[in-house]
Structure 1
Amino acid sequence: MKKFGLLVAGGIAAIIVLSSIGPMVGLVVGLAILYFIFKQFLKTDSTGGKIVLGIIGFFVLMASIHNAPAIIGVLAAYVLYLVYKNWNSSKKAFVKEDSDPFVNFEKQWNEINK
């Protein structure tokens, strides 16, 4: 039953990731361009250059904000990673010899009979 739940969660996450690849790429490209504009803005000494870079940076920021649904795609990719990670991990209950009361009883009985 656990594998079925993981399969369903992984399938839904995969569909979400595939449907949001475009916004994720757009967000990454927009943020990379915005980073380089900001670096140039800090290097520029002229006021006109700073105004032009500020306007361009504003438009790139607005374009990046339109790709905000990509955050849902990133979360779905993380869920897909967790499903992949937990697919073959099964928690087995191991019983230690010390915690089994019958093993302790047999040890104590053998000590008494010696």
Structure 2
Amino acid sequence: MKRCMLFVGGLIAFIVLLVTLGPMILLGVGVLLLYVIFKQFMKSGSTAGKIGWVIVGLLLLSTVVLSNIHAVIGFVAAYALYVVISKWRNNDHVLEGKIVEEDDPFTNFERQWAELNK
């Protein structure tokens, strides 16, 4: 039952991630362009140049970055998919209360030592 819920949750997160992939890419491009504008702002020596870069940066912020703010849902879905996959992999190691043999000699030693002390 737990694996079924993990699968359904992972499938929903994957679909949401695919739907919001375009806005996530545009948000990344917008943030990259804002970084370039900031670097140009820092290089600019004149006050008029700095004011111009601030205006361009604010226009870019209002059009590209803030309009794709729903791409944050895509980042949340990507994180949820990561959590589901990590829990799925951890669930493979534990099998309904059965002891899983590991290749780690220290784990085997500890288990055998505990059996000898009983």
Q: TM-score, normalised by structure 2?
A: 0.76
Question: Identity of paired residues, percent?
Answer: 44
In 1, the alpha carbon distance for the partners of 2:32 and 2:90 equals 37
Query: Superposition RMSD on alpha carbons, in Å?
Result: 2.2
In 2, the alpha carbon distance for the partners of 1:57 and 1:88 equals 44
Q: TM-score, normalised by structure 1?
A: 0.78
Gaps of 5+ in 2: 100-110
Q: Equivalent residues in 2 for 1:1-114 (5 A)?
A: 1-62=1-62, 63-90=64-91, 91=94, 93=97
Instruction: Report the CA distance shift for 1:94/1:7 in structure 2 as closer, same or farther (over 3 A).
Output: closer
Gaps of 5+ in 1: 108-114
More helix as a share of residues: 2
Structure 1 residue 98: deviation in Å?
Answer: 9.7
In 1, the alpha carbon distance for the partners of 2:30 and 2:73 equals 17
In 1, the alpha carbon distance for the partners of 2:90 and 2:54 equals 51
Runs of 4+ in 1 over 6 A off after TM superposition: 94-99
In 2, the alpha carbon distance for the partners of 1:66 and 1:58 equals 13
Give the secondary structure class of the aligned counterpart of 1:68: helix
